[in-house]
Amino acid sequence: MMGRTHDLATFTAISYVVATQPPQTITLATGITALLVGIVGGLTPDIDQPTADLWRKLPAGSVIGRIFYPFLGGHRNISHSIIGILFFAWLSKFIFAKIGQILLVDMNIVWSAFMIGYITHLIMDTLTQEGVPWLFPIPFKFGFPPLRFLRIRTASFMEKSMIFPGLLFLDAYIYYRYYDKFIDLLKHYIK
Ligand SMILES: [Zn+2]
């Protein structure tokens, strides 16, 4: 999947969670940080790809990306697996706990957003022809639908004309369906 598809998928997943969870009183700073960190989480599994969007968005990122590349064993390996989820859950919790000591935002919420982004990325990649090695180091890539030719090629017409607009449509539905909830949330910050 392309970076912007991952960005939108993360945004969609976070919107859905916000819409369906009981209302929480979070500060605006926490909300904005969580959304941004969620987007980063949604790009993080591709750190095993030196040309990944995440690296391009960071200064000197492509250099760091090339250092990470051999370490993570090439594209779609450990970072695209359950072990990768657990590793990054642990690592990000540790990092956010440190940052939380200086920054006045709710790091539990920020961490949840990061993980929503991360897991959404793997789910989206599962829809692609390449598949995802969920059970790494077992060298089998899972995909949905199971028949490879029915899955999506990255940056293909299908991704651009079906998946991306499909996600936009889903967002429109979520915001329409839970309109009151989002309005309440906004009122909380505007008043
Ligand atoms: Zn990926």
pLDDT of 8 above 60: yes
Distance 144 CA to ligand 1 centre (A): 15
Ligand 1 centroid – CA 22 distance (Å): 31
* Bridge partner residues of 142 (DSSP): 132
**pLDDT one-digit tens code per residue, 13-54:** 999 999 998 877 788 899 999 999 999 999 999 987 766 666
Which pLDDT score is estimated for 161? 93
Q: What one-character DSSP code corresponds to residue 78? A: G
Task: Report CA(132)–ligand 1 centroid distance (Å).
Answer: 8
Least confident stretch, 3-17, 59-73, 161-175: 59-73
The predicted-structure confidence for 124-158, as pLDDT tens digits, reads as follows 999 999 999 999 989 899 999 999 989 999 889 99
Distance CA 165, CA 135 (A): 30
Q: Does pLDDT of 164 surpass 80?
A: yes
SS3 71: helix
Give Cα 141 distance to the centre of its chain. 19
65 burial level (CB within 10 Å; 0-12, 13-18, 19+): buried
Give the residues across from 132 on adjacent strands: 142
- How far is ligand 1, taken at its centre, from the CA of residue 75, in Å? 8
Instruction: Give phi and psi for 142, each to the nearest 5.
Output: -90, 145
Region 166-188: what's the mean pLDDT? Answer: 93
Largest Cα separation within the chain, whole Å, is 54
φ, ψ at 55 (rounded to 5°): -70, -40
Distance from Cα 182 to the centre of ligand 1, integer Å:
30
Picking from 34, 188, 8, the residue whose alpha carbon sits closest to that of residue 105 is 34
The domain locations on the chain are 3-190
C-alpha–C-alpha distance, residues 48 and 41, integer Å = 14
Q: Per residue in 65-102, pLDDT tens?
A: 666 666 555 668 899 999 999 999 999 999 999 999 99
